[in-house]
Amino acid sequence: MSGRLTIKDIFKVDGSGVPYLKLVIYGPSLSGKTSMLTVYNVLRKVEDPETIYSSLKKIDDPSGRTIFYDQSTFELPKGQGVSFPKLRYQVWTVAGQKRHYIQRKVVLEGADGLIFMFDPSKNMWDDNVESLTELISLKGDVLGKSLPFIVVLNKIDLPAEERMATDKFLDLLIEKKLSNNKGEAYMRVIETSCLQARNELMTLLRSPDIKSKLDEYGRLKKGARPLSVQKVAQPIEQLTREIVIHRVKSARPE
């Protein structure tokens, strides 16, 4: 590669010439993948409505479980430390049920970054291990290398007697060779509660003093995010930044 880098040297470009990224949220059924995307989608609607490029798409079975995918496309909000005039990113989730293996495999194709979501409920341990093992079988050769990833430990609001200790998940990451030690593993993990974030965001938006949380254009101020909501948004926003940095560094000539 010679000369000055162009957008096309760094990112995929859609039909309108806008660069884009694809993020996938992976994990066992009912771990909270759809809840994370739903909270983030609502948050972006009230903070940066002009940067939502497509609405949330969702296909459920009669029980309400996602059977194919959820997907929404956003443009990178201002203040991300990126000089590109426009960057869109798609956030996808996958169906966690065992019968949807082929669909998960298809959704993973072309992913630029990945969020793996653990469910710490004690009865979900085997499902967590099985889902992570499956992901490694599909993407283990590039996971954490050309495919940046973040781990989310959801449902931290569960009573201690109902959830597996965080250390168990750190040990699992080491066992699966996704981290070298507990310190490194812990740096990769974000603990959150999608349920708490959803409830607190809805409470905030319905509060009598909501106007004090809005800017002059009627948008929710970034500083008004409840901590639980910030924790849900953090994996998506952090992963987006990591992908951009990784892509720019990889595209630079030696």
Residue type, 232: V
- Maximum average pLDDT range among 47-51, 54-58, 223-227: 223-227
As a whole number of Å, the end-to-end CA separation of the chain is: 9
- 193 vs 39, 92, 124, 136, CA distance in Å? 11, 19, 16, 25
pTM of the model as a whole: 0.87
Q: Please state, for a pLDDT cut of 70, what percent of the chain lies above it.
A: 84
**Both tokens of residue 82?**
């990126």
Give the pLDDT mean for 76-96.
Answer: 69
> 7-246: what fold?
Rossmann fold (3.40.50)
- Residue whose C-alpha is closest to residue 37's, from 14, 70, 79: 70
Cβ(115)–Cβ(21) under 8 Å?
no
Bridge partners of 152, per DSSP, are 117, 190
**Both tokens of residue 179?**
């981290």
Q: How far is 184 from 171, CA to CA, in rounded Å?
A: 11
Domain boundaries defined on the chain: 7-246
Other Cβ atoms closer than 10 A to 10: 18
Q: What is the pLDDT of residues 151-161, one digit of tens each?
A: 999 999 999 99
**Both tokens of residue 51?**
């940067």
Q: How far is 79 from 245, CA to CA, in rounded Å?
A: 15
Q: How far is 100 from 241, CA to CA, in rounded Å?
A: 30
Check pLDDT > 80 for residue 54. no
Q: How far is 205 from 35, CA to CA, in rounded Å?
A: 17
Check pLDDT > 60 for residue 67. no
| Side-chain half-sphere exposure of 132, counting CA atoms within 13 A | 26
Q: In which band, very low, low, confident or very high, does the pLDDT at 1 lie, cut at 50, 70 and 90?
A: very low
Residue type, 28: P
- Burial (CB < 10 A; 0-12, 13-18, 19+), residue 107, is buried
Strand bridging mode 88-93 / 19-26:
parallel
pLDDT of residue 115: 96
Cβ(92)–Cβ(115) under 8 Å?
no
Check pLDDT > 50 for residue 56. yes
Helices (H) and strands (E) in the chain, counts: 8, 8
